[in-house]
Amino acid sequence: MRWTPGGISGDIEDERDNSGGGGFGFGGYGPHLGIGGTIILLILSLVFRTNLFRFFGGGATVSTGQPAYHQPVSAGEQRETQFVSFVLDDVQRTWDRVLPEQTGVPYHHATLVLYRNSFPSACGMAQTATGPFYCPADEKVYIDLGFYDELRERFGAPGEFAQAYVIAHELGHHVQKLLGIEGKVQQLRQREPQEANPLSVRLELQADCFAGVWGHSGEQRDIVEQADVPAGLRAAAAVGDDRLQRMATGHVSPETFTHGSSTQRVHWFSRGLQSGRVDGCNTFASRARDEETQD
């Protein structure tokens, strides 16, 4: 990617010196689970033969009793923070223009919270193990930069564009909230709890497609280079439910998917990347479309 290290975005809240223990629990809105949390819940769901993802709509708060965690920011982490700032600002400037232009809906900025270990959000306690997530209740993205080490070393998705894809995906959830899609899906989940997982998959795949819409704009402005695209595709494939399940348990249970298969995630990210259109990202249009992109 073409970028120059600079200052820190005004849309970033750096809470790394304030991160630490506390409690965890989830209020009226649950966060979009990251890689670590998804793996843990998948394993437990398979072991206990029940869908534990359904509990992410409410629950009690449990105190961890851990002390605050403090660690100096290294030179490498400082550069990574500047990169996150650049991507955050560029993605949001893109939606400043694209969302009203294509949908007539004005865009307002989300906030990105940097933390270590754990930090409270309006959706409950953000934990390193859950990976990055967007909380619709406070319109903030939460990320521990240590996640990028996992993405690179454990899941085989290195490169700056892979990191950018993660941020663009989470901001895609913010776009969904502004368009009213997030709220409609929450209502459908309450009315039809048996459809909670399929609805979650469609929501996540649409966020992948919206990440691709930003990538399309970046290519047009020569921020995203052609050589960057494979890194983004690898990142999308790396966090497919089927791949995560194989890594965690050795087998795949499609009925427990909450984010979509690797093939589906690559398909929808590519679709946004090629079209640059919000209306090309309707993952809710028909079941036929979902079946078309199944393994």
Give the integer Cα–Cα distance in Å for 234 and 277.
22
- Averaged confidence pLDDT in the chain: 79
Look at residue 7 and tell me if it is in a domain: no
DSSP 88-107: HHHHHHHHHHHHHHHHS---
Q: Are 189 and 250 in contact (CB under 8 A)?
A: no
Look at residue 4 and tell me if it is in a domain: no
pLDDT, average across residues 95-103:
98
Whether residue 244 has pLDDT greater than 70? yes
Look at residue 1 and tell me if it is in a domain: no
* Integer angstrom CA distances of residue 120 from 25, 33, 111, 125: 9, 15, 14, 4
Assigned token pair, 183: 């709220």
Residue 51's pLDDT is 46
Q: Which of 104-118, 146-160, 252-266, 280-294 has the lowest mean pLDDT?
A: 280-294
What is the span of the domain harbouring residue 207? 12-292
Residue 109's pLDDT is 98
Which of 156 and 284 is assigned the larger pLDDT? 284
Look at residue 41 and tell me if it is in a domain: yes
Q: Are 126 and 132 in contact (CB under 8 A)?
A: no
Look at residue 3 and tell me if it is in a domain: no
Residue 152's pLDDT is 77
Helices (H), the chain: 35-48, 75-103, 147-153, 160-178, 181-191, 196-220, 229-238, 241-249, 262-275, 287-292
HSE value, Cβ hemisphere, 13 Å, CA-based, for 61: 14
Look at residue 80 and tell me if it is in a domain: yes
Torsion of CA 211, 123, 197, 98, to 10 degrees: -20
Tally of domains within the chain: 1
Whether residue 86 has pLDDT greater than 90? yes
Look at residue 6 and tell me if it is in a domain: no
pLDDT digits (tens, 9 = 90+) for 253-263: 878 787 888 89
Residue 64's pLDDT is 35
Look at residue 140 and tell me if it is in a domain: yes
Give the integer Cα–Cα distance in Å for 267 and 246.
20
If we measure between CA atoms, which residue out of 92, 81, 93, 86 comes closest to residue 4? 86
Q: Which residues touch 291 (CB under 8 Å, ≥6 apart)?
A: none
The whole-model pTM stands at: 0.78
Residue 49's pLDDT is 45
Whether residue 34 has pLDDT greater than 60? no
Assigned token pair, 207: 């966020």
